[in-house]
Chain A
């Protein structure tokens, strides 16, 4: 059961091979048995999951099932879910039970899917290794001494370890694509504004975007069909039709032009990872694509730009966690100042504090022009690079991450090295472009991802490009031995 894809599960549920209740119970059993090895879940919502499964079974019996009805899913603990703890991986929200549903959660509920639980993540989505979570690090199912990537590490590990058939993630600088790459699954960050951010706890509002984390591109298309769309509660969501993302999955790639940015294959890239990506490109040539070397000359500015923009926005977004209305409050504050200082000092972890401080500094009087304004200008340059590139090519390909999963604790004392894990993914966020990571091989028995970046709202093409590759390769079908 747990090796089936979403579309296979959907067919099996409709054919009555098993019920959603049985399927859900089987996943809950696996989680109970195996999650101790990966720590993918912060909250497992057994009871409400079984209730939702029962309701789904009735829908299926009544012939009212949609493609996701009765399908168990794992939700990143960044999405507010009514009546369920929503921690965002932080001590600050350890006691927070959301009184409302995020739009994404609402849409999955309406589709009749079953929420198994909430997945572990870097605290407030700040991290590339899932080690900053208040609930402990997530371990990579392929090697539990290694990190799963972050910040959607729990969601990636849950799918890789078959503890959920699919999950949701959010991506601010690579937080879907990088853990997808490190855990050997498929991850899609849609165009900024494609999926509503309402109810998704904000890290950096102008960069955050939710997307699916699945085993296959086809599953990602099914998930995105449910997640995408304009939401009147999110002014930045796109007022644009949602196509059926499954409709063009099998289109021919004849005549597809792939751009390979030379900056993505230079210094800092693990040679074996580079080789895996080249082999993937070779497959695409066989599928009829042509390849063109391109340049994204401002690539080197992406990481520094990001580490001004994202902290600046987060320093403001996280101000609401002040110990006054919800979340963590320190014991016996002596006055207001003390309440703020200790609630925030004790409630936030060190990476979150670091970014709040960087952001506060960047927005301060006298520094604002030199940092924030400058970063906005660079952001424009980076976007323009892509704009020019997409005049010549249909998609851009390269590595998702510079290397396979690294060891737990290996980079946690060195934020700069850690930040470079997202060197290939950050630019798509700054430009607002959609990006995917698909499994493209193994290096030292650890998975490696191929990144595909598309033009604005070109998710259907990304999914088509990924799906065709998955028809001729089987990297996405591999499962870690311990979790087969």
Chain B
């Protein structure tokens, strides 16, 4: 039987506010346990939440960036359950009236086609603390630094049909939230993570299969792996005549398997009800307009502009706009290079990205600044150096040896374009390799490469390749 996979994602984006969503405590990551938890975060008797309006602004921004409905009135609700790292015994979230309603975005599939994925809703909520099981033998430590950190939970429609589509969607959301600066997107620190709802059904069937929910996955790669594993598992169960049960599953990175956390029967009845400690969130048109004015150019628009303004391919434009930092860097390179868009695109997505990846450095911390790279590209364009020599220059810049011009100067890498100098080398090579000259003249044109190589070698790579080619061709004619 042919199976169809149905996937919906719930993405949790930690909002980049300075303080928590309902208290004044800092949201900075990595502090000593429980040093960033105030009376409100600890859920002490008598304390009350006060909404951080920065979080509201950020949610509105997300709504506008995804063409979603921003609710004029939304309500905070309590989600009740007991857990040691949930101090109040309930999480303040939104249920019936979320701040952001329906919207959509486009993803590009591998074959280049564009697919629209629906966004069901996005709501504000507070994060829980952390339970630390490792450090205390026979006991559990509770760190409430994270408790009360603002999250935007973004819920998609079950519109994705493969793990790859799910990843493309997740990447798109990641790029949007980082573009509009509402989330740092740091997946390792858990600032951006997702739950995947996965089910399968025979191709052509309308009715959805029973889904399982894969919890808390914090990397693009793991999302793809976990979904594929889950799809295989479900298909196997059904093909063996079994039934998929609705449950929550956990992806184990080390074992590369998913395993059951709790079944539907064990699921909590969260007893949602409107939080009487908080007023409804009222958002008027004026506020929405003001937020709209703060929106930067979004990835899709930027990509379109890159293809038209810089004549880049869709693929290049997509790669270069995948993060706002990358796009900003690229544009700065183009500017510094004097408008060499194609060369800039090649260098940014090629050598630079390769080096950054190899050393796990973010582009904004690149040892080669956009100005330096642009300066180097300018020298390629004006024939001061060849593309090949440029690799040496880049490497030197990466090692901190200064900008392109000083590297070229100090290493003597300037391309030789003096035709007298090149002619001298060419004549010498021809004189010393008469055997090859005869072969060439007898029609064995492959030997031509040998001469080019010899000349370049003799010039230490500095001879202008175009000039070398032209001169060799003339002289070898005889």
Contact = CB atoms under 8 A, between A and B. Distances in A.
B28 interface: no
B48 A336 contact: no
Contact of B39 (A79, A93, A100, A200): A100
A270 to B, nearest CB: 34
A99 interface: yes
B458 to A, nearest CB: 78
Interface in B30-48: 39, 42-48
B43 A325 contact: yes
A201 B279 CA distance: 19
Contact of B90 (A98, A201, A319): A319
B39 A234 contact: no
B142 interface: yes
B45 A316 contact: no
A423 interface: no
Pick the most buried of B47, B82, B271, B273: most chain A CB atoms within 10 A of its CB.
Answer: B271
A204 B271 CA distance: 16
A235 B89 contact: no
Nearest to A92: B45
A88 interface: yes
B47 A325 contact: no
Nearest to B42: A325
A364 B269 contact: yes
Interface in A209-232: 232
Interface string B40-80: 00111111111100000000000000000000000000101
B44 A100 contact: yes
Interface in A314-335: 315-316, 318-322, 324-327
Interface string A339-379: 01000000000000000000010011100100010000000
A313 interface: yes
B50 A102 contact: no
A318 to B, nearest CB: 8
Interface residues of B, number: 28
A233 B50 contact: yes
Interface string A224-254: 0000000011111000000000000000000
Interface of B is mostly: loop
B45 A235 contact: no
Contacts of B49: 235
A312 B275 CA distance: 11
Contacts of A336: 84
Nearest to B38: A100
A326 B276 contact: no
Contact of B45 (A88, A234, A312, A368): A88
Interface string B264-306: 0000010111001111000000000000000000000000000
Contacts of B46: 79-80, 86, 98, 102, 197-202
Given A316-B78, A319-B82, A198 B48 contact: yes
Given A198-B48, A320-B87, A336-B84, A236 B277 contact: yes
A96 B271 CA distance: 28
Interface in B237-285: 269, 271-273, 276-279
Contacts of B43: 320, 325
B44 A363 contact: no
Contacts of A200: 46
A217 B194 CA distance: 59
Nearest to A363: B271
A320 B48 CA distance: 13
B131 to A, nearest CB: 10
B273 A372 contact: yes
A233 to B, nearest CB: 6
A329 to B, nearest CB: 12
Contacts of B272: 363
A290 interface: no
Contacts of A319: 80, 82, 88-90
25 contacts: A79-B46, A80-B46, A99-B39, A204-B276, A234-B50, A235-B49, A235-B50, A235-B51, A235-B277, A236-B48, A236-B276, A236-B278, A312-B273, A316-B78, A319-B80, A319-B82, A319-B89, A320-B45, A320-B89, A322-B82, A322-B84, A324-B142, A340-B82, A364-B271, A365-B271
Closest 8 pairs between A and B when the two form their complex, measured CB to CB: A319-B89, A363-B271, A206-B276, A205-B276, A199-B46, A201-B45, A320-B43, A80-B46
Given A80-B44, A235-B278, 11 more contacts: A80-B45, A205-B277, A312-B273, A316-B271, A319-B82, A319-B89, A319-B90, A324-B87, A324-B142, A363-B80, A368-B271
